[in-house]
Amino acid sequence: MKKSDIVVPGMVILAMLPFFIFPQVLNHYKELNAAHGYAMSFIKFAILATLGECLGLRIRNGMYINKGFGLIPRAIVWGFIGILIKIAFVIFGEGAPMMLKTLGVYFPGANPADVLRQPGFSGLKLLAAFSVSTTMNLLFAPVFMASHRITDMHIQHTGGTLKGFFTFMPVGKYIKEIDWSGFWDFVVKRTIPFFWIPAQTINFLFPEDYRIFIAAVYSIILGILLSLASLKQSKRQ
């Protein structure tokens, strides 16, 4: 175990402790979410999802950051992904339950999405959450994941520097370099149905204040799982 394996988790724990110790910190967090939802989404994904990539790198290569990793560019990309996911949560969170209503599913209120805001659990709430997760992951996630792969390639091709990141991005060139067969077989056919749809279904059973945070945590979990799978595969070869 390296010293960094104590320092990094320690910093994460210290950063999270105030939310559990001081109720006013959690209340302030909820107020910021309500007043500045998109900015908070940027911050949460920039920090948590980037941390997930650092943890994945630690599992694969034994270090949290290496030359060319591009910590700041990755954080910027993840921040804007957080904003896009917030937008997707609004669109599909409202639209998918309405779709169910047009298909004949009965909702007690005028706005079908209100069932996701009600406390407790019900079969109708689960169905609404599943519809949100399924439509979002089938219609939005593949495009978002492909776009994220392109930005990752740009960071790698420009050496992970901030200056390089803001240079012209040859999207057409990167599209030709992507392994679309692998993208379809693993990202679309496996992670979406077996991880993202179940995970986001559970997420939409939680109150709105926590959904973006949970989605960012999911990115950490998936990054760790993918790194462990990659490490296991490399040992077999």
Q: What is 73-139 written as a DSSP string?
A: HHHHHHHHHHHHHHHHHHHHHHHHHHHHHHTT---SSSSGGGGGGSSS--HHHHHHHHHHHHHHHHH
Q: What is the CA radius of gyration of the chain?
A: 19
Per-residue model confidence (pLDDT) at position 235: 57
Per-residue model confidence (pLDDT) at position 224: 80
Residue 71 · residue 50 · CB < 8 Å: yes
Which pair of tokens denotes residue 219?
Answer: 């990115």
Per-residue model confidence (pLDDT) at position 1: 63
Per-residue model confidence (pLDDT) at position 65: 85
From CA 96, how far away is CA 113, in angstroms rounded? 8
From CA 13, how far away is CA 162, in angstroms rounded? 29
User: 24: exposed, middle or buried (C-beta count within 10 Å: 0-12, 13-18, 19+)?
Assistant: exposed
Per-residue model confidence (pLDDT) at position 85: 95
Per-residue model confidence (pLDDT) at position 66: 86
User: Which of 45, 39, 54, 17 shows the shortest CA–CA distance to 223?
Assistant: 54
Mean pLDDT by 10-residue block, N- to C-terminus, for the chain (237 residues)? 72 78 85 90 93 86 86 95 95 97 94 94 96 97 93 94 95 94 89 94 93 90 75 55
From CA 229, how far away is CA 125, in angstroms rounded? 34
